């Protein structure tokens, strides 16, 4: 696929106000796509849209609220067009030993990292099938979705990301078995510079959000016969 083939196609990016989501949104806007950025901080998303070939639409969405997700997908279909790319990026972490983990924090991590991703995927698949779109679903995972990290207090985050790994592969199999040409991918970064990682970066090797944006573009510009099912992007020298 040529970069020009992305022009005016519709992408939904969750958690688009900062970090990886913002980096992905900018990369897709640069490719001429219509990008619908979902985030609680709508104003932060709106700041991303200057100087790009594509067009940005910002919607205030709390992905832990199912009604917000459904409203955003309905609005996108009616006002922008059928979904061609979904990037499930919204994610949070909370570091705490399991015996001290606050229940509301536990629920928030699982709802944001796994349940919301599942609901968004469902809505994207419905949109793509209804409009005969052979599109892409990219789940922003983590190296923590494939390994048990040797850091205390990350048990719930790691659990949520292992769930993303299992869900992505299960849906890939389901789509392929049904004859669908929709492609789903797990994109697993190592340490990425973002608001969420500010307290842990220190002098550790890390990549930037724009690096993950380029990885997303790589996935969605593959020929029709190629499905990048798993892509890991680590900073050079990372040892976790």
- Catalytic machinery residues: 157
Closest CA to 60 of 34, 76, 41: 41
- Polymer length in residues for the chain: 240
HSE-CB for 29 with a 13 A CA cutoff: 24
Sign of CA dihedral 17, 20, 26, 29: negative
Order across the sheet with 83-88: list the strands. 55-60, 34-39, 10-14, 83-88, 136-140, 183-189, 230-233
**Beta bridge pairs of residue 34:** 10, 55
Strand 10-14 to 34-39 pairing: parallel
Distant-in-sequence, close-in-space partners of 111: CB < 8 Å, separation ≥ 6: 63, 64
From the CB of residue 100, how many other CB atoms can be counted at a distance below 10 Å? 7
What's the CA gap between 155 and 97, in Å, rounded? Answer: 8
């Amino acid at each position: 696929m040529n970069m020009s083939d992305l022009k005016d196609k519709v992408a939904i990016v969750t958690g688009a106000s900062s970090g990886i989501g913002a980096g992905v949104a900018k990369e897709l806007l640069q490719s001429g796509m219509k990008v619908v950025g979902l985030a609680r901080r709508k104003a932060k998303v709106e700041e991303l849209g200057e100087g790009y070939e594509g067009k940005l639409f910002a919607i205030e969405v709390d992905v832990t609220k199912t009604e917000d997700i459904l409203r955003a997908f309905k609005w996108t279909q009616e006002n922008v067009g059928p979904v061609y790319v979904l990037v499930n990026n919204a994610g949070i972490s909370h570091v705490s030993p399991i015996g001290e983990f606050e229940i509301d924090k536990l629920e928030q991590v699982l709802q944001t990292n796994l349940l919301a991703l599942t609901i968004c995927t469902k809505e994207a698949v419905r949109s793509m099938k209804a409009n005969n779109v052979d599109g892409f679903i990219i789940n922003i995972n983590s190296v923590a979705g494939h390994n048990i990290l040797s850091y205390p207090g990350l048990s719930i985050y790691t659990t949520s990301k292992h769930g993303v790994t299992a869900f992505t592969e299960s849906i890939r199999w389901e789509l392929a078995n049904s004859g669908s040409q929709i492609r789903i991918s797990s994109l697993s970064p190592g340490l990425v510079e973002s608001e969420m990682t500010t307290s842990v970066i220190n002098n550790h090797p890390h990549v930037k959000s724009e690096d993950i944006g380029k990885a997303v573009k790589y996935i969605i510009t593959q020929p029709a016969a190629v499905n990048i099912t798993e892509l890991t992007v680590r900073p050079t020298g990372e040892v976790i």
